[in-house]
Amino acid sequence: MSQIDILNKDFQRLNTDTTETPEGFKPVAGSLPIQFCLAQRDPDGNPTTGIVRVETTVSSFSTDDDVKFNASGGSDQWDPERYFNIWVCDLTGGLLGYGEFPTAGFSDTYGVVNDYLYFGDIGTASPPYDEGRTATHEVGHCFNLRHIWADDGSGCGASDLVD
């Protein structure tokens, strides 16, 4: 699956564009000791492909997290202490995806939602967001990485939460 490969390359710093890292960041750029893979066992211990496909009457989803619940046409989360959940769906309003920041404990909505048009780099992936970087960006949020420009417009000095 192309998106899994992209996540591994990005988080292990094996992607082809590492040469574009600005000089000032090269001394601190690194690889994370993490490997993304599809689950081989479901929460009940049964063999699985790691992919849950849901037939739904919902034509598109928004940021209200409906995609994360069976009752609203999506799919319930698997235990976030054992699985990293990624939901792929049709998102409304031109949104590419979103990732939930971690809380004191895992919530029943923790994980990444990615529009299917911007997932991976083959198949339905659409330019200019066809390199799988949307999921990389959103997984970063799940790992508590904020936008480098700060979300309130004040720049790095005020609200990026990085010292």
Is the distance from CB of 127 to CB of 159 less than 8 angstroms? no
138 is catalytic: yes
- Structure tokens that stand for 43 in this block: 């929460």
Q: Is residue 49 part of a domain?
A: yes
Domain extent, residue 60, equals: 39-163
Q: Kindly report the pTM of this predicted structure.
A: 0.89
Query: For the segment 32-82, what is each residue's pLDDT rounded down to a tens digit?
Result: 999 999 999 999 999 999 999 999 999 999 999 999 999 999 999 999 999
Which CA distances in Å does 60 have to 65, 67, 72, 91, 130?
Answer: 11, 9, 11, 5, 20
Q: How many domains does one find in the chain?
A: 1
Tell me how far the alpha carbon of residue 37 is from its chain's centroid. Answer: 13
> Per the residue annotation, which of 20, 100, 131, 138 is the catalytic one?
138
Is the distance from CB of 17 to CB of 9 less than 8 angstroms? no
Q: What is the CATH number of the domain that holds 71?
A: 3.40.390.10
Average pLDDT over residues 130-138: 93
pLDDT at residue number 124: 79
Where is average pLDDT lowest: 4-8, 65-69, 152-156?
Answer: 152-156
